[in-house]
């Protein structure tokens, strides 16, 4: 198996091989002798884990995203922040002050390169919340689940197809949730259009578009932004859609991916790099620190990929984090009766040949705002986190864990949405050739039920007054 995989990767790098690129198998036990995927160990879609009266959390990674998560979770009454971990103990100390300000007990502190392992081994933690660099997401989630912990993992949950399979199989084996923290699924317009799609307002959806277009050029090269320049290194050595899930998550839910349909294959093409290599060279002429990045094969400015689903629907997804242009996730849904599009803001809807008026949009909002947004939306806006969607995501996670309800995003979503990055790299390397996307549900997608938009059985998680 290892020999076959090496040959595959060698052929991929040399630009040889057939037009259809099949993904390498992740382990000897993935497929039966017939070549078909083996049955699931356990179906985690719709799985309701035992109720937790309190959700005891350990956080790992307190650099960029972690501090916001600690602050938000400190305001949910059913949460106990048991432990804080970062390789830099100063970051842990800083978050202890956040807990002190919220009149909460001091958390246990973990630091160093392996402090996270000791934290995962603790017996008084229910959920490990992971906000570390991408390369650590899967190893940490795997270790935590194997230690009996549910996991919440920042995006993307995995970097490779193999890692996606590892997450799926470990979650199934341990019956521990692995939720990717895709906050865009909880934005207000995205929630509303999901409800509209669920109720057939757009007719049958047949095409959707998403993106992550966000100018991070200066941030990626700034020494103080990402520890050890990890994000720049990702962009310097990989070419594809490296960060697909912000645009892909909400439209995948609208298309019932893994719950009635699934990804089948994709093609992807990247432009050349027109900015990152030049910036590396310019900075290196002034600061020798940047010399290691000169001549690196930076990913192209714009990656565009197209996914076709099992039922013949299409998704266009774009990734560009260097160009000088306004932020956009596109969020476009196209159906037989209408269309919705968010970017540029504000969101627009058409159920005919023209966009709805502001008055008509207000009526739509009244009719299709989800129970979650009605229940916690205004509070979420006050607490914040990308306009409130971060807090809605956290609150919903805690409410579902407390009440023993299935999660909105399960391990199959984490795997499918994340796998697109690796598959896109393969397609780009083969000059836009077709790449199959694995079925991480192993056929269960045809019977899995869509994400619940109700608060039935939950909605009773209180928010602290801080």
Same domain, 155 and 248: no
Residue 195 and residue 244 in one domain: yes
* End-to-end CA separation in angstroms for the chain: 55
Q: Where are the alpha helices (DSSP H) in 175-207?
A: 188-198
CATH number of the CATH domain containing 419: 3.30.360.10
Do 265 and 162 fall into the same domain? no
Instruction: Specify whether 161 is located in the same domain as 204.
Output: no
So what's the pLDDT on residue 12? 37
- Looking at residue 245, what is its pLDDT? 98
* Domain boundaries, position 102: 55-182
- Domain assignment present for 99: yes
Q: What are phi and psi of 307, to 5 degrees?
A: -105, 140
17, part of any domain: no
CB 418 within 8 A of CB 158: yes
Q: CA–CA separation, 156 vs 269, rounded Å?
A: 20
d(Cα 376, Cα 392) in Å, to the nearest integer? 7
- Domain membership of residue 31 (yes or no) is no
Counted domains in the chain: 2
Q: Of 124, 155, 182, at which residue does a domain stop?
A: 182
Q: What is the pTM of this model?
A: 0.93
CA contacts within 13 A on the Cβ side of 106:
8
Q: Does 174 share its domain with 276?
A: no
Query: Is the domain of 297 the same as that of 277?
Result: yes
Q: Are residues 64 and 173 in the same domain?
A: yes
Is 193 among the domain residues?
Answer: yes
pLDDT of residue 37: 58
Instruction: Please give the pLDDT value at position 466.
Output: 55
Secondary structure (3-state) at 215: coil
- One digit per residue, the tens of pLDDT, for the chain of length 466 reads 334 433 333 333 333 333 344 444 443 334 333 344 578 999 999 999 999 999 999 999 999 999 999 999 999 999 999 999 999 999 999 999 999 999 999 999 999 999 999 999 999 999 999 999 999 999 999 999 999 999 999 999 999 999 999 999 999 999 999 999 999 999 999 999 999 999 999 999 999 999 999 999 999 999 999 999 999 999 999 999 999 999 999 999 999 999 999 999 999 999 999 999 999 999 999 999 999 999 999 999 999 999 999 999 999 999 999 999 999 999 999 999 999 999 999 999 999 999 999 999 999 999 999 999 999 999 999 999 999 999 999 999 999 999 999 999 999 999 999 999 999 999 999 999 999 999 999 999 999 999 899 999 999 999 997 5
Size of the chain, expressed as the number of residues it contains: 466
* Same domain assignment for residues 148 and 251: no
Spatial contact of 375 and 16, defined as CB atoms under 8 Å apart: no
Task: In whole angstroms, give the CA distance from residue 214 to residue 322.
Answer: 7
Same domain, 72 and 206: no
Identify whether residues 315 and 222 lie together within a single domain.
Answer: yes
Query: Residues 225, 337: one domain?
Result: yes
Q: Does 173 share its domain with 213?
A: no
């Amino acid at each position: 198996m290892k020999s076959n995989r090496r040959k595959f990767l060698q052929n991929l790098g040399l630009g040889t091989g057939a037009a259809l690129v099949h993904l390498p198998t992740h382990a000897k036990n993935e497929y039966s002798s017939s070549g078909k995927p083996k049955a699931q160990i356990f179906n985690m879609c719709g799985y309701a884990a035992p109720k937790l009266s309190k959700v005891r959390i350990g956080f790992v990674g307190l650099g960029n995203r972690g501090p916001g998560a600690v602050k938000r979770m400190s305001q949910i009454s059913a949460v106990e922040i048991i432990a804080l971990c970062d390789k830099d103990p100063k970051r842990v100390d800083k978050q202890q002050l956040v807990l002190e300000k919220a009149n909460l007990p001091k958390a246990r502190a973990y630091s160093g390169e392996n402090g996270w392992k000791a934290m995962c081994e603790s017996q008084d933690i229910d959920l490990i919340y992971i906000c570390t660099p991408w390369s650590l997401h899967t190893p940490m989630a795997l270790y935590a689940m194997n230690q009996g912990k549910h996991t919440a993992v920042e995006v993307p949950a995995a970097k490779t197809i193999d890692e996606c399979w590892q997450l799926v199989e470990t979650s199934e084996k341990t019956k521990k949730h692995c939720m990717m923290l895709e906050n865009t699924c909880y934005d207000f317009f995205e929630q509303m259009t999901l409800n509209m799609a669920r109720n057939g307002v757009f007719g049958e959806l047949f095409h959707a578009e998403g993106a992550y277009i966000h100018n991070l050029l200066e941030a990626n090269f700034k020494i103080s932004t990402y520890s050890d320049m990890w994000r720049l290194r990702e962009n310097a050595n990989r070419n594809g859609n490296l960060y697909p899930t912000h645009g892909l998550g909400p439209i995948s839910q609208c298309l019932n991916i893994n719950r009635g349909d699934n990804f089948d294959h994709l093609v992807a093409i990247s432009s050349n790099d027109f900015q990152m290599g030049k910036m590396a060279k310019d900075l290196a002429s002034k600061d020798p620190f940047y010399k290691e990045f000169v001549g690196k094969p930076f990913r192209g400015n714009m990656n565009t990929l197209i996914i076709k689903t099992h039922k013949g629907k299409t998704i266009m997804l774009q990734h560009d984090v260097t160009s000088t242009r306004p932020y956009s996730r596109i969020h476009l849904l196209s159906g037989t009766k209408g269309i919705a599009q968010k970017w540029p803001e504000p969101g627009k809807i058409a159920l005919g040949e023209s966009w709805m008026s502001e008055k008509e949009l207000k009526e739509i909002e009244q009719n299709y705002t989800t129970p979650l947004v009605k229940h916690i939306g205004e509070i979420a806006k006050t607490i914040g986190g990308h306009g409130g969607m971060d807090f809605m995501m956290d609150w919903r996670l805690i409410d579902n864990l407390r009440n023993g309800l299935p999660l909105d995003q399960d391990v199959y979503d984490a795997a499918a949405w994340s796998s697109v990055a690796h598959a896109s790299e393969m397609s780009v390397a083969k000059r836009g050739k077709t790449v199959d996307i694995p079925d991480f549900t192993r056929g269960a997608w045809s019977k899995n039920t869509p994400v619940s938009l109700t608060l039935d059985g939950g909605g009773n998680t209180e928010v602290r007054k801080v």
